[in-house]
Structure 1
């Protein structure tokens, strides 16, 4: 069967690649065409456009690139028509995917949405489009099933979180091997995860790097994003006594003692590796002011949202400064706060359900196609 997948971010590339592997286990003749990244490309099929060419962050940035976005939408529609897939699989990335799925439903394509957009945070009225245009929805957060089924009377499949699969299936590395491989020193590691987009990385590292001199007994290591080149990070390495590892974030987290993490999927990944963390976020002033008025959440990190309490400290906008970041990092390096955070991490993992999200989703998609074709 033929599958067309659309992912627009690094996390979507990861989860899309694991879903493709699961589909291949069920359908050895599967043909893939997709918008995604290197991980999906490694599985096989044809990459139409890389997510690094689709990464526009914030309200202002989207408006500035609106012509490019519309060109991509038109190109995607024509490409789907030429491919004629048995199923289109949308992976988060709602701004783009909602436009495609409306058109796809009108054209009679089977529409599957893997990893729900966060309409429970903002733009809840998007439920109308989902009900109209999505044949099957696969959610990965436990509270999302209640949100859709109880609040909006829309049946969905809770498949568990695919990060559990990604972490469990990785090849483990010993700390000594990691240190030698990346020419690090023999000190406990504090990981810096500043995000994946250039403007985000620069903004976050500006503050993160200010605290490094306050902790001489630790070494700070930047997790290089797969969407960026090594050369981009050299400007930060020259001015600060820090190291860089590229395309090895999971290896880094597996040996890290603590982490400073930009809000996003990485906050959950860090927690699942049982690394105490401080969550950081700072956007452009205009984008932040708009977001503050339209997003209705008590927290911004997935860890706190899932647990519905403050498990990890969130330093947002003006609170994300050298003084507060130093204070919060000192806390998670001390015994009692670390112990409490790690206990909460255990409860978090239990709430996420078991592993196997990719396989469960693949089975549901294949069964749906077979049922439709029967």
Structure 2
């Protein structure tokens, strides 16, 4: 079997790599060619183009790089025709992948989509075209199955969320590494600090609050200063910022000056979450990752007034957090735009840290969330099995 897989972002590379591993288990002789990243390549696929060459975010950046995007589309089509795959598997990344899907369908290529674009939030009109050019849709959020069936008369398959297995694997790996120096309560302050930082800047065994302010400079500059101001209310806590992979240390150094109980880590977000008592998290996938680690969290969103007003009119969802969307209720507090203030963060953190009833309810909701997302096994294995069955039958 010959598979051509396209993922255009880091998250797609991660989930694509796990899908490739599972496809290889079912068919060791499978030939896989991909657009993705280092993880998909390591899993056994031949990498054609790295996602770093594809990641253009925001209207202005897309317009500026339109020539590159069009050349990538042309090259991708030529490469698919030359490879002659049995199926084309597209992972999220809708701006590029939906164009390829429409073209591939006209070429008679079987198109499978894994991880649906979030059309239920915005650009809903895309669904009409998706139905005509996608042969099999695999979704990872439980409400998406009913959304497509009830609103669009389209039967899609829910396979669970691939983050469940990712978090489980990372938790086990981190715990195993740390077992050599004992559990958290047994470790000395210096051992605990060393496990979180690349330097000696963290202080000693105080309760830890993780700060996850996002990955792009614009969003970090909007949210992190508010989070840092909130740290002043809690001198007995250690606040630790999870740095984004693409940002330089110097960028954070300037922001963190003047906050004695704040430190930062690079490339250790999951280790940080495993050791945190609470977290302040920017809206996005990180809210779900934090919940799967069982960490009480406050969800934070703040953008420019123009962006916020546009988003309010375009995005049609009750909540901004994936946790709340999946559970269809307010599980974690959302502080949005003008509500994101140091004083409100102070109140919410006090609730998370010192209200036993709130912590118990969160723990119960997190458990239900994990069961819902991991229903019937790991998503990658279920997706791979579904793909093979579909192609064989």
Out of 351, 356, 363, the position equivalent to 2:385 is 363
Q: Hey, what does 2:299 align to over in structure 1?
A: 279
How many angstroms does 1:239 deviate by? 5.3
Q: Hey, what does 1:270 align to over in structure 2?
A: 290
Q: Hey, what does 1:314 align to over in structure 2?
A: 334
How many angstroms does 1:229 deviate by? 5.0
Identify if the C-alpha distance between structure 1 residues 112 and 40 changes in structure 2 by more than 3 Å, giving closer, same or farther. same
Does the 8 A contact of 1:5 with 1:34 survive in 2? yes
- The superposition leaves residues 278-325 of structure 1 with CA deviations (integer Å, 9 ceiling, x where unpaired) of 111123333322221121111011111111111111112222232222
Identify if the C-alpha distance between structure 1 residues 19 and 222 changes in structure 2 by more than 3 Å, giving closer, same or farther. same
Does the 8 A contact of 2:88 with 2:112 survive in 1? yes
Does the 8 A contact of 1:193 with 1:259 survive in 2? yes
Query: TM (normalized to structure 2)?
Result: 0.86
Count of aligned pairs: 371
SS in 1 for 2:88: strand
Identify if the C-alpha distance between structure 1 residues 217 and 55 changes in structure 2 by more than 3 Å, giving closer, same or farther. farther
Query: Which consecutive unaligned segments of at least 5 residues does structure 2 have?
Result: 179-183
Q: Hey, what does 2:264 align to over in structure 1?
A: 244
Identify if the C-alpha distance between structure 1 residues 91 and 79 changes in structure 2 by more than 3 Å, giving closer, same or farther. same
Q: Hey, what does 1:295 align to over in structure 2?
A: 315
Does the 8 A contact of 1:178 with 1:251 survive in 2? no
Query: TM (normalized to structure 1)?
Result: 0.90
Identify if the C-alpha distance between structure 1 residues 370 and 53 changes in structure 2 by more than 3 Å, giving closer, same or farther. same
Out of 215, 225, 228, the position equivalent to 2:234 is 215
Out of 365, 374, 379, the position equivalent to 1:344 is 365
Q: Distance in 1 between matches of 2:215 and 2:34?
A: 20
Does the 8 A contact of 1:10 with 1:227 survive in 2? no
* RMSD over aligned Cα atoms: 2.3
Identify if the C-alpha distance between structure 1 residues 269 and 309 changes in structure 2 by more than 3 Å, giving closer, same or farther. same
SS in 1 for 2:232: helix
How many angstroms does 1:130 deviate by? 1.4
Q: Hey, what does 1:180 align to over in structure 2?
A: 194
Q: Distance in 2 between matches of 1:41 and 1:246?
A: 24
Out of 195, 203, 212, the position equivalent to 2:222 is 203
- The superposition leaves residues 62-98 of structure 1 with CA deviations (integer Å, 9 ceiling, x where unpaired) of 4454444333333332332333322221111212211
Identify if the C-alpha distance between structure 1 residues 37 and 326 changes in structure 2 by more than 3 Å, giving closer, same or farther. farther
Q: Distance in 2 between matches of 1:63 and 1:288?
A: 21
Out of 199, 204, 209, the position equivalent to 1:190 is 209
Q: Hey, what does 2:344 align to over in structure 1?
A: 324
Does the 8 A contact of 2:20 with 2:45 survive in 1? no
Does the 8 A contact of 1:37 with 1:47 survive in 2? yes
Q: Which has the larger radius of gyration?
A: 2
Query: Which consecutive unaligned segments of at least 5 residues does structure 1 have?
Result: none
Identify if the C-alpha distance between structure 1 residues 104 and 367 changes in structure 2 by more than 3 Å, giving closer, same or farther. same
- The superposition leaves residues 18-49 of structure 1 with CA deviations (integer Å, 9 ceiling, x where unpaired) of 11111121121233332323332332333334
How many angstroms does 1:53 deviate by? 4.0
Within 5 Å, give how 1:1-374 maps onto structure 2: 1-170=1-170, 171-173=173-175, 174=178, 175=184, 176=187, 179-181=193-195, 182=197, 183=200, 184=202, 185-230=204-249, 232-238=251-257, 240-241=259-260, 242-335=262-355, 336-352=357-373, 353-371=375-393
Does the 8 A contact of 2:13 with 2:39 survive in 1? yes
Does the 8 A contact of 1:258 with 1:333 survive in 2? yes
Between stretches 201-210 and 232-241, larger displacement belongs to: 232-241
Q: Distance in 1 between matches of 2:102 and 2:235?
A: 54
